[in-house]
Amino acid sequence: MHRRLNRILVTGGCGFIASNFILSLLERRSDLLIVNLDKLTYAGNRMNLQELEQKQDRKQNTGYRFIQGDIIDQILVEQLLAEHRIQAVLNFAAESHVDRSIHDSAPFIATNIQGTHTLLEAARKAGIELFLQVSTDEVYGTLGPEGLFTEETPLAPNSPYSASKASADLLVRAYHETYGMPTVITRCSNNYGPFQFPEKLIPLMITLAWEDKPLPVYGDGANVRDWIHVLDHCRGVELAMDQGRPGAIYNFGGDAERTTLQVVTAILDLLGKPHSLIRHVQDRPGHDRRYAMDFSLAARELKFAPTRSFEKGLLETIQWYEHNREWLRRVEDGSYREFMNTWYGGRQ
């Protein structure tokens, strides 16, 4: 199967992964219209896509439109699908941080579940050609020391974040089974790379280490994540958009299992900082021990393969943050500092 979709609604396009997705796609495909619907929460930054907006200011054709709005807004979503004759919805929009979901789960239920439902309903009424749901390995829960998550692993989410993502996946599945909607679900492991909000492990540790501040490692630091460069994830989503089987679920992983301590010491070594900056703090409640992905289905059906080694990708990511300190200064607004003080203040 090969689809040629030209008119796409991307939700959450000002966030980490979708801004990389939009930039990488529009760099290569001049036949596309991408409408980006984003609420601009604390995690959404319009400046991630400023190169596209600057081109528009110079009256150059970019194939890009930005709409500020909420995916829960049914009238707005229906209007956008009709007005732009949208063929595919790619739902990246989400509340995405596990720690915030522990602190206050309400926005996760609203955006991740209700928002996905609104998009599905609007897509059903519009007779959309593809609904692609960007999901996560966290819906599978946790692994022991052995084994990998496959697409058949039962869903067993442990945090409010992962429970909200699993709920959305089930709604997407139901719309395929009940209404025959052409859906694809992609489930990816932990991403890192440019534009990641500095509440997530890698950019948080980079920015703290620069200032010689303590690096908070939850519990014993032996929790394992399978790290993937964001552009490898974006390539996977593009392949799933072009070739994914209707009703299919595809796992994507980076083939790079690392413990938190391995990641943090690698960052300290690359920055030339002492390991004594590491502080073991109170563990995250419900902390999943290990994630690791079997992505052989995506490899077989989509020819997906991660291309960047973790060590090279990490070095490039550190360099990106070093060259983009102004970006960091602008995203670290009051609400970010407030959350970080409340969360870490109680955990030292």
Catalytic residues: 137-138, 161
- Phi/psi of residue 203, nearest 5 degrees: -65, -30
For residue 120, state whether it binds ligand NAD (rule: CB under 6 A). Answer: no
For residue 115, state whether it binds ligand NAD (rule: CB under 6 A). Answer: yes
DSSP-assigned states of every residue in 225-280: EE-EEHHHHHHHHHHHHHHPPTTEEEEE--S-EEEHHHHHHHHHHHHT--GGGEEE
For residue 17, state whether it binds ligand NAD (rule: CB under 6 A). Answer: yes
How far apart, in whole angstroms, are the C-alpha atoms of residue 190 and residue 291?
A: 9
Query: Between residues 63 and 141, which has the closer beta carbon with respect to ligand TYD?
Result: 141
Exposure class string for 123-137: b at 16+ Cβ within 10 A, else e:
beebebbbbbbbbbb
Among 38, 232, 238, 288, binds ligand NAD (CB under 6 A): 38
Q: Binding mask 47-86 vs ligand TYD (x if CB under 6 A, - otherwise)?
A: ----------------------------------------
Tell the smallest beta-carbon distance from residue 99 to ligand TYD (Å): 6
User: Beta strands of the chain (E only): which ranges?
Assistant: 7-11, 33-38, 64-68, 88-91, 130-136, 183-188, 191-192, 215-218, 224-226, 228-229, 248-252, 257-259, 278-281
Among 210, 218, 336, 339, binds ligand TYD (CB under 6 A): 218
Among 14, 148, 201, 202, binds ligand NAD (CB under 6 A): 14
For residue 205, state whether it binds ligand NAD (rule: CB under 6 A). Answer: no
Contact between residue 13 and residue 2 where contact means Cβ atoms under 8 Å apart: no
Query: Between residues 209 and 217, which has the closer beta carbon with respect to ligand TYD?
Result: 217
For residue 201, state whether it binds ligand TYD (rule: CB under 6 A). Answer: yes
- Chain centre distance of CA 9: 16
Tell the smallest beta-carbon distance from residue 215 to ligand TYD (Å): 8
- The footprint of ligand NAD (CB under 6 A) covers 11-12, 14-18, 37-41, 43-44, 70-72, 92-96, 111, 115, 134, 136, 165, 188, 190-191, 197
